Chains A and B, each alone.
Chain A
Amino acid sequence: MNILQVSNLIHKYDKETILNDMNFTLKKGEILCVLGPSGCGKTTLLNCISGFVDITGGKITCKEQVVSESNFTMPPEKRNVSLVFQDYALFPHMSVKKNIQFALRNKPKNYQEEKIVEVLKMVGLLEKIKNYPHELSGGEQQRVAIARSIASGNDLLLLDEPFSNLDPNLRQELRSELRNLLKKNEISAIFITHDQYEAFDMADRIAVLNKGKIEQIDSPRELYQNPKNTFVANFLGSKNLIKAIYDENTSAYTCPLFSIPRERIEMSEEVYFYLPNDAIQLKESDFINHDFEVLGEHFRGDNLELEIKFRDIEMSISRPAYAVNIRDKLLKLYFNTDLIKIIPV
């Protein structure tokens, strides 16, 4: 059974179309990350799904029940959807215990007591049960917020950039913790972020949003290997896009580095070569190769990110630190054209 089904969702505000014909489904226990630039409609999407905003067209269905239509919006309190915000949104006037208890209304007292202990144990904060939110650190507050959502027993969790306020190490820690918790409790989640690494880490699938439209929705690996267009590729953080010119004589798409024979594709005006990391090798092989100038290097601990240049083409590759002799200012790179994709703008 699908936890969530979004069909032809349209949302207009004052003649401006915010969400433009969105379609996707979410299975039980699935984690979907929504990635996109600011203003692309991510928060509006969450508002529509949680029921705080009416939709203009299309349908939203939760577990076979229609919750939003153009003329009907089921109120949020009736939906089985929890919210987690960037500012944690813990009730300041209630202790941790009371905050979680708040999510357990209409449940018998002993069930409440048990559940509170259970979820606090899950996030490792049982000893803070009597504290107030302002006495906790940011990370602790967010954990409590997550615990609260789990306690509510809702099937779907909506998270709006939940870790943006926290420092990177904490972020990483909480990410994996959250993913484990969600999977263990079989809770579906839609996770908004503008950090592609976070999305890669957390998501079963990623939806890349652009101006209210889903450009592509796929697993992280699939998205990385086969981005549908340059927008998606850029958003995933890739800098390795090279403009491809079609040569009529050789019937191939060409660039200064290589050419790939192909039938001309009627995609768009402009077409680009997309080079995933594994299409570029340092190891000697039969592939076409070129000497690249190393413009700069960024030490990332485990690996080295190199900014490289050939004529006027600039790219970046990531390599394990030991694989590259940093002293070399010239790097010979081999291109496996089988792994190179051609994508429209």
Chain B
Amino acid sequence: MKFLIPFLVLFSSVASAKTLTIYTSRKEHLIKPILDLYTKETGVKFNYTTNKDGALIQRLKAEGSSTPADLLFTVDGGNLWYASTQNILEPINSQILDKNIPASFKDPKNLWFAFSLRARTIVYNPKTVKKGELSTYEDLATSKWKGRLCLRTSKKVYNQSLVAELIDTLGRKKAKKVVAGWVANTVDIFSNDTSAIKGVISGQCDAAIVNTYYYGRLLKKDPSIGVKIFWPNQNDKLGVHINVSGAGLLKYSKNKKESKKFLEWLSGGKAQALFASLNLEYPANPSVDLDPLVKSWGTFKYNKEFNLSKAGMLQKDAIKLMHEVQYK
């Protein structure tokens, strides 16, 4: 390998100061505007690389102390929990963050904080679904929904977290029955939420379980799609399943102070509003106003005691469960 060294030296260069480096699984077009805004306000520049959560975490582990990254942005509590167990994050002690972000949306040890929320709920076709037919997630597993349901693949982490919460609240046995029922009722399993919603629009099925922002995006493109949103489990402990998109400070970051400042800014009013509205999500900071379209969907109840870390802890089990019932 000796001949590699001169080769590598040729490419050496010096990194510039006052630049934060972010590894993010949140898509570029959803994070760039926020970064640009911060740059405008403070002059701090950003480098970022997008990739899947697993890949990013693997990379951070492999890079160890030589990592150039300062912050990890990821979607889904499960991923955040996993990151917190891999010894790559450092707890942040910040009064601002503690004030702005509710307890159920941050890691118990302050290793990560949520910055936006999304609900995984039911969308339905009002023409084919009678009033009162919809009630709970579990109800969708009953025979009256046979051939009327559209599901997204079990491989997507959003479903895994949903099932994790079901396991936590209903117990594994009951949760397995519910998921098995869904699989029996579904007409097709889609690789993404948008296709599942399109299934409802085109009449392939009557209802689907999806994330709110996918619904919002389609609605924005075409307000006449005729699909409505429903909040299940409003009368029991489960409530609507909430998931988060969040970030953590990396243990080997070389710009910890600056990174912390950025996160604190992100938890504040203006940044929160922009961050959430870019993707039609809910801001993690409860004092911030909602995007009008999101607001129009109404309010709902969710289980405040369910910390997303639990979703991560139960994720493996959730996947096993889904495999057991042949949920593709």
- Chains A, B in direct contact (C-beta < 8 Å): no
Where the two chains meet, the residues of B that have a C-beta atom closer than 8 Å to any C-beta of A are none
**A-side interface residues toward B, CB under 8 Å?**
none
